[in-house]
Amino acid sequence: MEYIYPVESCLQKVKDNQNSEIQDYFAGSTVFVTGATGFLGRLLVEKLLRSCRDLKRVYILVRQKKDKTPEERFKEYFDNVIYDPIKREYPKALEKVFILSGDCALPDLGLNEKDKETFLSEVDCIFHAAATVRFDEKIRIAAYINVRATRDLIKLAKQVKHLKSFVHVSTAYSFCTQPKIDEKFYDSALNGEQLLTLVEIFDEDKLEEMTPLIIGKWPNTYVFTKSIAENVVGNEAADLPLAIVRPSIVVATANEPIPGWIDNFYGATGVIAGAGLGIIRTLHCKPNNLADLVPADYVINAFIAAAWEVSRHNNSRVNEIITGSEKEDKRNNESDIPIYNYVCSPQKPFTWRECMDTGFKYGNAVTSVLQVWHHCLLLNPNRYVHLFFHYLLHVLPAYIVDFFAMCVGKQPQLVKGYAKIAKFVDVIAFFSTKQWLFINQNTQELWNSLSSQDKKLFNFDMGSFCWDAYFSTYISGIRVYVVKDPMETVPQGLVKAFRLKLAHYILVTVLLLGFFKFLLYFLF
């Protein structure tokens, strides 16, 4: 099975639709992207370069990581399969990307004075996609990256000479404390300054102790700090041409630049990968609850469309002011900042049961040679039932395998591994056992405002989405890009899967016979 997508068809769309309104908007623009080295950030940069060829320049914020400088990391930036289509068809596009050395964990994004001047004088479109997405991140780090960086970027944006648009990337779960989540601002537990003061006053140990008290009803520091970041936007950015986009659970790309591309185990992808490999066998989950998944390339297109729309709205207001037709300044408070809930449930609802069943349906055709046992995933709505099966199917086998590993002189690994898996599953449980009513009227109106050309180039219409077709590439993408098992090994994977299935049922049969024999022995 050859796993290649004809991305050239996407490139052809660019050639065929030179009069696209969104393309015209980005023509001659200089874009600044935070989070450009992350999953969504990479896709955003790639999409802008491929579909908006007349843009002038893209600045990406890159921090030092371990022993690599920002410049060294930038040299490796395009060594990724998602840039292969551009390298083949439009290699000069890569010359438009430049770095600004910085770090969202530092004040003013860690920018030096020279780079600040470059930012203020050249940038006219901002995409703030940087965030720490670790659910168990220490609250000080989460506050610095998710809250302070947002505040400082807004302050810088107010000094930009020709700002056309600013897109702040949030999450649909920023206010998961609400049963109904509309496209509007909600009150956060603290404002930005209060949280930043807290993390400055107390030491790390005290903050660790206080974290449950600080975050209150929020399940983790990620969604908590994202809610406060929205508070910062609402309080401090009402006079900017700014929009907030709230994607839900982001999964692999549907179509472009490569279908099924994903580079992380976060969220649903980690569960599907773990279950497919026979590692995760029980999940605390209400199977009939909705799994609000959205494909990454659709999310990126929504970001780009939001930037275009907020600029168009701002230009319309400027024209009204010039002509004297505007009766009052309507953009003077947070309620006038457009918010887009980018979710699937209002238009294409998809349950967790359907998600797992569809995953196994396509996973059975492309089983990995790295599979460790026959896949068998139990979705348990009751936490105590889940814990029972966790100890029976995860912990007990892990101790048995580690015992035999030590007997032959090998390092025990499974017990520690399943401790991490238990933590991951507990984090997921908050989202797989609860359900929210999401409103996405603004998002649907944004889609309807696009021209026919832009709807082809920047598709984010979940109303016409097909989950079954998507999963056929999503599962293959997990295998290739996350598990790192090439499609060439599928035949060997199928053979191994058959043997593991046979071993599984033999073991189950033996255990059941032993159990019944045990009962008979004591009963008679």
Render 20-64 in DSSP notation, one character per residue.
Answer: -HHHHHHTT-EEEEESTTSHHHHHHHHHHHHH-TT--EEEEEE--
Q: Which of 299, 245, 269 is nearest to 47 (CA)?
A: 299
**442, 338 in Cβ contact below 8 A?**
yes
The pLDDT of residue 192 is 95
The Cα–Cα gap between 72 and 483 comes to 26
What tens digit of pLDDT does each residue of 110-168 get? 999 999 999 999 999 999 999 998 888 999 999 999 999 999 999 999 999 999 999 99
The pLDDT of residue 12 is 53
Residue linked to tokens 């920023």 = 174
The pLDDT of residue 322 is 43
Six-digit token string for 355: 């998600």
Residue linked to tokens 């009227």 = 441
Of all helices (H) and strands (E), which one includes residue 403?
A: helix 396-407
Q: Which residues 6+ apart lie within 8 Å of 13 measured at CB?
A: 51, 456, 457
Counting DSSP H helices and E strands in the chain, the numbers are 21, 13
Six-digit token string for 117: 């001047």
Burial grade of 8 (CB within 10 A; 0-12, 13-18, 19 or more): exposed
Residue 490: what residue type? Answer: V
Domains detected in the chain: 8-264+292-350+433-482 (3.40.50.720), 354-430+490-523 (no CATH)
The pLDDT of residue 342 is 99
Residue linked to tokens 């997990």 = 478
Three-state DSSP at 414 gives helix
Residue 298: what residue type? Answer: Y
pTM comes to 0.93
Six-digit token string for 407: 């007997």
The ranges of the chain with pLDDT < 70 are: 1-19, 315-335, 524
Residue linked to tokens 């809930």 = 341
The Cα–Cα gap between 184 and 168 comes to 14
The Cα–Cα gap between 262 and 258 comes to 9
Q: Which of 402, 174, 362 is nearest to 275 (CA)?
A: 362
Six-digit token string for 388: 């029972």
Classify 63 in phi/psi space as left (phi over 0), alpha (psi -120 to 50) or beta: beta
Q: Indicate the angle between helix axes 296-323 and 441-449, nearest 10 degrees.
A: 80
The pLDDT of residue 136 is 87
Of all helices (H) and strands (E), which one includes residue 323?
A: helix 296-323
Classify 109 in phi/psi space as left (phi over 0), alpha (psi -120 to 50) or beta: left
φ/ψ of 32, rounded to 5, equals -115, 130
Angle at CA 173, nearest 5°, toward 218 and 305? Answer: 150
The pLDDT of residue 306 is 98
The Cα–Cα gap between 396 and 376 comes to 16
**Neighbouring C-alpha atoms within 13 Å toward the C-beta of 76:** 8
The Cα–Cα gap between 61 and 83 comes to 18
Q: Which of 252, 231, 292 is nearest to 443 (CA)?
A: 292
Of all helices (H) and strands (E), which one includes residue 275?
A: helix 267-276
**60, 37 in Cβ contact below 8 A?**
yes
The pLDDT of residue 519 is 82
Walk across the sheet containing 97-101 and list its strands: 97-101, 57-62, 30-34, 125-128, 165-169, 242-247, 339-342
Q: Which residues 6+ apart lie within 8 Å of 506 measured at CB?
A: none
What tens digit of pLDDT does each residue of 361-419 get? 999 999 999 999 999 999 999 999 999 999 999 999 999 999 999 999 999 999 999 99
**457, 233 in Cβ contact below 8 A?**
no
Q: Which of 197, 226, 228, 199 is nearest to 211 (CA)?
A: 199
